[in-house]
């Protein structure tokens, strides 16, 4: 056997599967069993106490779910990984495991809508202070960190305005005050960015998006040092936000083509972002791969590709959004992203549906924005589709 370190492409296909195969099957079985039986009580006890490998009850662990965790663990280059029913379960379990009353959290204003709800609505009820900084102002974030905090929470690129945070720089600042650093890597995926290698302690994903890639299963995952992951796993096994075996299987199957999908989506999104930036009906395009992006230099340094999501503003505002979206032929108008099909929508019905218009404004998320998650269709077909939909708009 070769001892060369496998590439992310090979890991997407093979990681986590070899150990979980059954009776010569080449695919991981979906183990639809709630519990696991033992003839021998001492053996049962050894498994229950973690002295021997095996499973007791599927709220805790399950073979199909474990194969999914192992694949993401290897792709993120982590020591350990644990999974959840959804991305939000991964985020809330991580925060509620690591934080206690009196703690202080530093993050940014425009995290994913659900995450921002935890920061603004739920954590304060437990006397946890949350300081949300301007996302692009790294100096201000460093000042907030230097005031002392238990946890720094990052998301890069952000949803839906594709802001980029300098992960290595902010992680270093947080470690100087002894904080734990958590990063949401949903938009980049492990193919484009590995936050653990940039210095964060825990990386998490909504597997519902690019990891699964087919918009047919919800899931979440957290990876990092065993010390933290075991604590988060323990909280999850008790509160019960467990990933379903069938969902784990669908996510595993989707991940086998992760590298191919991301490669295509990176390439298409960059071409489409450049195309949109030249159209008179478009006032602004947000994409880290554009030289005009505020933190294009940071993105180049920390990402291998710029991802499959971009967003843009129409000169005609929300009225133009209303006229434009129904004209698209190759796009679902829906709330998710990261699928094989292109998906488009405004933040009010997608990433920030849980927030009020005032909250979105405070976060710097314009109502007239369109988030465009590029699928794996032919790039030229998507550009022709956008061109015809734009042609129907008045130019102001």
Taking CB under 6 A as the criterion, the residue among 17, 70, 103, 184 binding ligand PLP is: 184
CB of residue 26 vs ligand PLP: minimum separation in angstroms?
29
Choosing from 110, 166, 184, 201, which is the catalytic residue?
A: 184
Taking CB under 6 A as the criterion, the residue among 73, 117, 209, 352 binding ligand PLP is: 209
Taking CB under 6 A as the criterion, the residue among 75, 94, 95, 112 binding ligand PLP is: 112
CA angle 290, 272, 165 (to 5 degrees): 35
Residue 227 and residue 235 in contact, taking contact as beta carbons nearer than 8 Å? no
Choosing from 71, 104, 109, 112, which is the catalytic residue?
A: 112
Find where tokens 């599927």 sit: 58
Residue 220 touches ligand PLP, criterion: CB under 6 A = yes
Residue 249 touches ligand PLP, criterion: CB under 6 A = no
- Biggest CA pair distance of the chain: 77
Residue 15 and residue 78 in contact, taking contact as beta carbons nearer than 8 Å? no
Cα 89 from Cα 232, distance rounded (Å): 11
Cα 283 from Cα 19, distance rounded (Å): 52
59 noted as active-site residue: yes
Residue 87 touches ligand PLP, criterion: CB under 6 A = yes
Q: Which is nearer to ligand PLP, 67 or 309 (CB)?
A: 309
Taking CB under 6 A as the criterion, the residue among 86, 136, 311, 342 binding ligand PLP is: 86
Cα 336 from Cα 343, distance rounded (Å): 7
Residue 232 and residue 222 in contact, taking contact as beta carbons nearer than 8 Å? yes
CB of residue 190 vs ligand PLP: minimum separation in angstroms?
14
Residue 88 touches ligand PLP, criterion: CB under 6 A = yes
Binding segment toward ligand PLP, per CB under 6 A, in 70-78, 201-209, 273-281, 355-363: 201-209
Q: How many residues interact with ligand PLP (rule CB under 6 A)?
A: 15
Q: Which is nearer to ligand PLP, 61 or 206 (CB)?
A: 206
Choosing from 38, 46, 57, 59, which is the catalytic residue?
A: 59
Residue 92 touches ligand PLP, criterion: CB under 6 A = no
CB of residue 159 vs ligand PLP: minimum separation in angstroms?
4
112 noted as active-site residue: yes
- Which residues share a beta bridge with 311? 286, 371
CB of residue 385 vs ligand PLP: minimum separation in angstroms?
23
What count of Cα atoms within 13 Å lies in the side-chain half-sphere of residue 133? 23
CB of residue 339 vs ligand PLP: minimum separation in angstroms?
12
**369 three-state secondary structure:** strand
C-beta neighbour count of 83 within 10 angstroms: 28
- Alpha helix (H) residue ranges in the chain: 8-14, 41-48, 63-76, 87-98, 113-117, 138-146, 167-176, 189-192, 226-239, 245-255, 258-277, 296-302, 317-324, 357-362, 379-391
Residue 310 touches ligand PLP, criterion: CB under 6 A = no
Residue 163 and residue 307 in contact, taking contact as beta carbons nearer than 8 Å? no
Choosing from 73, 163, 209, 261, which is the catalytic residue?
A: 209
Q: Which is nearer to ligand PLP, 310 or 389 (CB)?
A: 310
117 noted as active-site residue: no
Cα 364 from Cα 376, distance rounded (Å): 30
Cα 284 from Cα 273, distance rounded (Å): 10
N-term to C-term CA, the chain:
64
CB of residue 4 vs ligand PLP: minimum separation in angstroms?
33
Residue whose Cβ sits closest to ligand PLP = 87
C-beta neighbour count of 165 within 10 angstroms: 23
Q: Six-digit token pair at 307?
A: 């991802």
CB of residue 158 vs ligand PLP: minimum separation in angstroms?
8
Q: How far from chain centre, in Å, is Cα 325?
A: 25
Residues in 144-173 at the binding interface with ligand PLP, rule: CB under 6 A: 155, 159
184 noted as active-site residue: yes
User: Which residues of this protein are in contact with ligand PLP, per CB under 6 A?
Assistant: 86-88, 112, 114, 155, 159, 184, 186-187, 206, 208-209, 218, 220
Instruction: Provide the annotated active-site residues.
Output: 59, 112, 184, 209
């Amino acid at each position: 056997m070769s001892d060369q370190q496998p590439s992310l492409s090979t890991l997407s296909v093979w990681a986590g599967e070899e150990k979980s195969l059954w009776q010569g099957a080449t695919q991981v079985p979906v183990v639809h069993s709630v519990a696991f039986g033992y003839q021998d009580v001492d053996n049962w006890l050894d498994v229950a106490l973690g002295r021997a490998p095996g499973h007791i009850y599927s709220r805790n662990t399950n073979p199909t779910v474990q194969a999914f965790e192992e694949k993401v663990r290897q792709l993120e280059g982590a020591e350990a990984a644990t999974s959840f029913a959804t991305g939000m379960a991964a985020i809330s379990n991580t925060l509620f495991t690591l934080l206690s009353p009196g703690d202080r959290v530093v993050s940014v204003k425009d995290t994913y809508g659900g995450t921002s709800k935890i920061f603004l609505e739920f954590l304060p009820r437990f006397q946890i202070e949350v300081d949300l900084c301007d996302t692009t102002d790294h100096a201000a974030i460093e000042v907030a960190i230097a005031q002392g905090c238990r946890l720094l929470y990052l998301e890069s690129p952000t949803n839906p305005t594709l802001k980029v945070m300098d992960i290595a720089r902010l992680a270093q600042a947080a470690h100087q005050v002894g904080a734990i650093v958590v990063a949401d890597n949903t938009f980049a995926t492990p193919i484009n960015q590995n936050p653990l290698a940039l210095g964060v302690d825990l990386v998490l994903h909504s597997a519902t998006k690019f990891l699964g890639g087919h918009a047919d299963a919800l899931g979440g995952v957290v990876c990092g040092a065993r010390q933290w992951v075991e604590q988060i796993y323990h909280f999850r096994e008790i509160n019960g936000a467990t990933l379903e075996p069938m969902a784990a299987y669908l996510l595993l199957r989707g991940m086998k083509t992760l590298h191919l999908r991301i490669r295509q989506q990176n390439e298409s999104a960059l071409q489409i972002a450049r195309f949109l930036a030249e159209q008179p009906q478009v006032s602004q395009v947000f994409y880290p791969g554009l030289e005009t992006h505020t933190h294009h230099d940071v993105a180049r340094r920390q990402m291998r590709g710029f991802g499959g999501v971009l967003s843009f503003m129409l000169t005609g505002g929300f009225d133009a959004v209303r006229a434009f979206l129904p004209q698209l032929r190759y796009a679902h108008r829906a709330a998710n992203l990261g699928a094989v099909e292109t998906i488009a929508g405004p933040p009010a019905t997608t990433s920030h549906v849980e927030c009020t218009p005032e909250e979105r404004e405070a976060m710097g998320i314009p109502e007239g924005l369109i988030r465009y998650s590029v699928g794996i269709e032919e790039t030229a077909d998507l550009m022709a589709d956008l061109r015809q939909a734009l042609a129907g708009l008045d130019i102001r």
